[in-house]
Each structure stands twice: as structure tokens, then as C-alpha cells.
Amino acid sequence: MEKLISKYFVPGKTFSLAEFEQDGGYQAARAVFDKFPDPKALVEEVKKSNLRGLGGAGFPAGMKWSLVPQNTGKPVYLVVNADEGEPGTFKDKYILRHVPHLLLEGIIIAAYANNVHKAYIYIRGEYTHPYDMLQKAVKEAYDKGYLGKQIFGREFALDVVVHRGAGAYICGEETGLLESLEGKKGFPRLKPPFPAVVGLFGCPTVINNVETLSYLPYILNRGAEWFAKLGSEKNGGLRLFSVSGHVQKPGVYELPLGVSLREIIYTHAGGIRGDRKLKAVVPGGLSAAIFRADEIDVGMDFDQLRAKNTMAGSAGVIVMDETTCIVKALYVTMRFYGHESCGQCSPCREGTGWVSKILRRVAEGRGRTGDVNNLLDICSFMGGTTICALADGAAMPLRSYIEKFREEFEYYVKHGKSMVDGTALETQTLHDTSHMSHVGS
């Protein structure tokens, strides 16, 4: 299988502008003005490629662009989501770190398609090294005239600003991100209006993920039909799968949409560590519903996974072997949502908080009769009742872990310890900290 983006993922290396150009970089962006005198034709081309939103939602990218009104008299903004916060996902970091110019080339193409003259890249605050590499690339592009007042000598201006987040999962949600970019706490907005119409600073806004934009140069160079054919039905191209957990070779694998989960785990990631047996897999980031080992003969694209009641999401594949205690794994998972819920909507704030507390109690061996049913009960009011999808993202693992491994939960509550490893977590107490000073933040 030919590598497209991932061929640049050379350990320790960041491709400079000159090196990137030597490899054919910026050709697509340079040619786009003459090839598509009418930007609408470019939008149509991207539609034909079946490129999907690879941040996780999977919305057809060309379709998203066509929803942006061009007649409001207001500027249109492009916002690049580089917040990459979905646990199990780390692929955008590789693009930012190794080949930031590919992203910039994609940004130029998307800007031209949508008549955008200002783009913001929202990168998570913890990505310090990728931020440095990205800033360096932006400077190189300005110096060379690939960004700025007249890019490639054309009458087309494009400014790019790199903006760092400050540690909040919710800012990966597109409207939470917009709020954050406007200098506020990241409370997601009620939709509609959708950001395409009322987005950043009240203006029409295109929001695309790093990886989505990085495939644009390939689509332009080699054609939409070629790209569409790489993937599966209505799921064009390749995507970057982040594989972690109990595999021999964790890492980023660039494979066609629709590739089987079995192939990802056993062919590419080298199978399970220590030749143990597979127990379960999270297919698309922490918020996706879990699969049992007997469910991995499934095509990894947005539509096939939805048909299996889970999601392709951010393509973060988390693999668990037979030694995994599912109860503890779910506790760790739900603690995440309890910590990251922004607190705006009650079902999410209270739901994720209580679920995480109940699971903590169970994991410590102090579970009560009825806890498992209580968890499912809370789950039932968390989905579909909130402004953004965080609560739905918490409900999916919660319901699926319990439904698929119910006997482990019942055992843990009854016996006060794990069915798998025979232990319980240490009881968390409020230890005496009077002699200590607490960490600043």
C-alpha cells in the first residue's frame, strides 16, 4: 500500500519548505488558481473525492464547504482543528511535527475554495514541540510569499495565525473551539446556527481537521476519482489510524477507509503483545462503543462502523488483551469524561460525575447491589439531552462496556474484586496534605 501523508513520518525529522517542495510540495496549491478559475468547481471536485471529515464526525468535506454562504458581506474564516484531544488519537501530532507544510498547502487550497483570507490553527497547548515546528513552517511560508498579501504572486491574500489551547478536551468540539478562539471558556454553542453560517466572530466559518486538509494536495494532484477509489463506498481515500494499547507495535498506520479492524491489529500493529488473546477493542477513540474480540471482522469506515452501533470517530484504535479488567478500564474512561465535562449542561455535568464516582466505588470493591443498573439508568438520560456530543461520547463506552461484559461488572460488585485480576483498586482517601503545598494550577 502506497503511503501518502505518512511517508513523511521520518523519526526525528521535520521537512523544511525547500525539502517539501523538492518532493513536489506546494504544486497543488500553486496550480489551484488556474486549474479552478471558479472556486465552486474546486468544491465540486472535493465532493467527488468522497473525502470525509477525519477529525471524527466524518461529515463529507466538500459538502461542508458548500454550506458556507458567500453573500453575507462578512469575511469567511477557516479554522483548523489541531486540538487532538480524543484519547487514543495522536496522528495529527505526526503531521504537525514532521510535515507542517503539507497542512499549510491544504489550508491554501481550502482557503481558495471558500474565499477565505484568514485562517486560524487551534493547536492543543500540550503540543509544544509540534507548535514550534508549525510556527517555523508558517514563518518559512510567509518569507517565501506562500502566505501573506499575494500568495504565489496572485491577487489572493491569506494570513495564518497559530493559536494555542490551554488544556481542555471540550475545545476539540468545534463550537467550544470557536468560543475558546474568541478568548472565552470553551462552552459549546447551541446549534443551529451552524458554524458554516454563524461561526468565528459571528462570521461564516469552515472548520476542518488537520488530517482532512492534509489530503487535499493529493486529491488535486491525482484526481478526485483516484482518491475516492482508494477507500470504500462513499468513504474516500486513506486515513491515519492511531493504534495503541496491548499491541506489539503501537503507532500511526495509514490505511484505506474500510480496511478491516483485524488487519489493522494483526497485520500492521503486529498482533497482541506476548501472544496473548485479544479481549476487546475501542475502534474510534475513547468515545466509541467497544467491540468484543469476535467482532473485529469489520470494515473501518464511517458508515460500516455506524451500522455496528459504534463509530469510526478519530480512528484511535485502543486494543485490550485478555488480562484487561473491563471494569477498571471503564472507570478510567469515565473518570476522563467526569474531568473533562465543561459543566454547561446538567445531564453531562451530573451524569459523568456520578458515573465516575459510582465506578470508582465499584472498582474499589465497595460496589452496591443495583450499581450496574444505576449506571445504565444514568446512561439513558445522558445521550441526546445536551448541547454538544460529549455526553453522547461518554454514554457510548458506558453502555457498550456494560452490555458486552456485564458478567464482569456483576462479579466485581458481588465479590468486591475483579473477575480478571482478582484485585480491587486501593480505596481513595483524602490523605493528610497539611504539610504539603498544592501544585499551582
Cβ atoms < 10 Å from Cβ of 361 = 18
- Cα–Cα distance for residue pair 281/308, rounded to 1 Å: 13
**Closer CB to other proteins, 223 or 365, in the complex:** 365
Using the minimum distance from each CB to other proteins, give the nearer residue, 154 or 335. Answer: 335
Which CB, 127 or 409, lies closer to other proteins? 127
Of residues 31 and 197, the one with the C-beta less far from other proteins: 197
Smallest gap from Cβ 356 to other proteins, in A, equals 12
Nearest to 40 by CA among 70, 10, 6: 70
CB of 138 to other proteins, least distance (A): 11
Who contacts 438 (Cβ-Cβ below 8 Å, separation ≥6)? none
Please say which residue, 333 or 400, places its beta carbon nearer to other proteins: 333
CB of 426 to other proteins, least distance (A): 9
Least Å from the CB of residue 209 to other proteins:
14
Q: Which is nearer to other proteins, 87 or 106 (CB)?
A: 87
Q: By C-beta, is 120 or 146 nearer to other proteins? A: 120
Three-class DSSP category at 180:
helix
The rounded distance, in Å, linking the Cα atoms of 143 and 315 is: 35
Q: Which of 286, 364, 366, 378 is nearest to 325 (CA)?
A: 364
3-class secondary-structure state, position 424? coil
Q: What is the dihedral of CA 219, 222, 225, 231, to 10 degrees?
A: -70
Closest CA to 378 of 365, 361, 359: 359
- Residue with smaller CB distance to other proteins, 190 or 430: 430
Residues 80/122, Cβ–Cβ less than 8 Å? yes
> b/e for 242-261, b at 16 or more Cβ within 10 A?
bbbbbbeebbbbbbbbbbbb
The least distance separating other proteins from the CB of residue 289, rounded to whole angstroms, comes to: 14
Euclidean distance between CA atoms 288 and 176, whole angstroms = 20
* Closest approach of other proteins to the CB of residue 207, in Å: 16
- DSSP secondary-structure letter at 118? E
CB-nearer residue toward other proteins: 54 or 200: 200
Cell of 334: 469515565
Q: How many CB atoms lie within 10 A of CB 41?
A: 11
Distance (Å, rounded) from C-alpha 245 to C-alpha 264?
A: 13
Taking CA 240 as the corner, what is the angle to CA 352 and CA 223, rounded to the nearest 5 degrees? Answer: 130
Residues in contact with other proteins by the rule CB under 8 A: 84-90, 92-93, 124-129, 161, 163-169, 180-186, 200-201, 242-246, 250-252, 282, 286, 316, 318, 320, 324, 328-329, 332-333, 335-336, 339-340, 342, 431, 433, 435-441
Q: Give the nearer residue to other proteins in terms of CB position, either 170 or 230.
A: 170
3-class state of residue 3 by DSSP: coil
Q: Which amino acid is at 140?
A: E
- What's the closest the beta carbon of residue 213 comes to other proteins, in angstroms? 18
Closest distance of CB 408 from other proteins, Å: 15
At closest approach, how far in Å is the CB of 293 from other proteins? 15
CA dist 152 and 25 (Å) reads 13
Choice between 231 and 285, CB closer to other proteins: 285
Least Å distance, CB 311 to other proteins, is 16
Read off the amino acid at residue 361. R
Least separation in angstroms between CB 328 and other proteins: 8
Select from 396, 393, 438 the least CA-distant residue to 169.
393
Alpha-carbon distance of 286 to 167, in angstroms, equals 17
